[in-house]
Amino acid sequence: MSGVLHLARPEIVALAPYSPARWDPALVRLHANENPWRGAADRTRAGLNRYPEPQSSLLIDRLAALYGVAPEQVLVGRGSDEGIDLLVRTFCRAGQDQVLICPPTFAMYRFAAAVQGAGVIEVPLRREDGFALDAGAVLAACTPATRLVFLCSPNNPTGNQLDRQAVRRIVEGLAGRALVVIDEAYVEFSSAGSLAPWLARYGHLAILRTLSKAYGLAGARCGAVLAAPEVTGLLRRVIPPYAVSAQTIEAATDALAGDGVEACRDQVRRLVEERGRVAARLASVPLVSKVWPSEANFLLVESPDPGRLLEAGIAAGLLVRDVRGQAGLSGCLRVTIGSPDQNERLLAALEAA
């Protein structure tokens, strides 16, 4: 295990943690300037008149069990978007440090870096090789100012799983040099499992997970950073104490209780099946020249006239994502797998375009 504290912003390492109002449900709360009465429309169990438990222990325990890690290795936040933002703010000094990204990829890594004033190094995925990760190029591009290396697997918007050997080469090559962040927002839809077991071996690894995709809770905003306690401890200093709302805590803990996890897995199985069916049909649409293989809940589609496909979708009341503006994605659209009925409507519209 290699430490990471020397990679974090020194002022965050030195920061005395904010001390929120003591959490002790057995005692009456006259210490947090809350209203003693619930609102008339409040349907929560906890009562929205009360601040939620910071880093709810029940939610952390359920996420730790779901992801197969220890509770100290879990930081819960408002989606993995917040995890990305916290990592950048904790590890990158404005005007000095950099993140490394492998485009085309999820846009929030670059966005969070821009907000923080961190530099961005780009090492493109190799489109000619199925958007493969170039481990040698990533290692060569890292500088002493590189603090975070974001790898997204399965990658958004290309849909492919990154090669494990290439990821391992990067992780091993960067021990003591940078924190490697693997975004697994779509891993539930892939044939390969999570890399969370690698956390036992690599202290400079962080994994992003979310309940927004497979667990159907995008509106609740709940995601996790899985990492060594040294890393989650730093992020806990930076995240606002009451970031995760009482409604989110209840929605997420409920979703992970009883047979909730099995029900989600069942939905994932149906979406994966639907992904195969939609991919096959799309491949025969006259205006579609290529459907990239996908390990996620979306398909990257290439067309000689993507504008016409977009318009046909909108005319049928359906939105697909225009990703043509991203480097390396000329002629491409990203189609999310919907319900069978929604997919059928889209396919009919595109076939008629």
Residues that bind ligand PLP (CB under 6 A): 79-81, 106, 152, 156, 183, 185, 210, 212, 218, 223
If DSSP codes are grouped into helix, strand and coil, which group holds residue 171? helix
Strand order in the sheet with 332-336: 290-291, 298-302, 332-336, 321-322
Six token digits for residue 51: 């601040």
Shortest Cβ contact with ligand PLP: which residue?
79
Q: For ligand PLP, give the closer residue by CB, 81 or 295.
A: 81
Closest approach of Cβ 251 to ligand PLP, in Å? 13
Closest approach of Cβ 352 to ligand PLP, in Å? 29
**307-332 b/e with 16+ CB inside 10 Å = b?**
eebbebbeeeebebeebeebeebeeb
Closest approach of Cβ 212 to ligand PLP, in Å? 3
Q: For ligand PLP, give the closer residue by CB, 106 or 131.
A: 106
Q: For ligand PLP, give the closer residue by CB, 183 or 295.
A: 183
CA dihedral 197, 200, 201, 202 (to 10 degrees): 90
Closest approach of Cβ 16 to ligand PLP, in Å? 29
Neighbours of 95 (CB within 10 A): 9
Q: For ligand PLP, give the closer residue by CB, 152 or 206.
A: 152
Closest approach of Cβ 10 to ligand PLP, in Å? 28
Closest approach of Cβ 109 to ligand PLP, in Å? 9
Given its phi and psi angles, is residue 79 left (phi above 0), alpha (psi -120 to 50 degrees) or beta? Answer: left
Q: List for the chain the helix, strand, coil content (%; round to 5).
A: 40, 15, 45
Q: For ligand PLP, give the closer residue by CB, 79 or 306.
A: 79
Strand order in the sheet with 146-152: 74-77, 223-227, 205-210, 179-183, 146-152, 98-101, 119-122
Closest approach of Cβ 296 to ligand PLP, in Å? 8
Cα–Cα dist 77/98, whole Å: 23
Cross-strand bridge partners of residue 179:
148
Cross-strand bridge partners of residue 298:
336
Q: For ligand PLP, give the closer residue by CB, 298 or 353.
A: 298
Q: For ligand PLP, give the closer residue by CB, 205 or 312.
A: 205
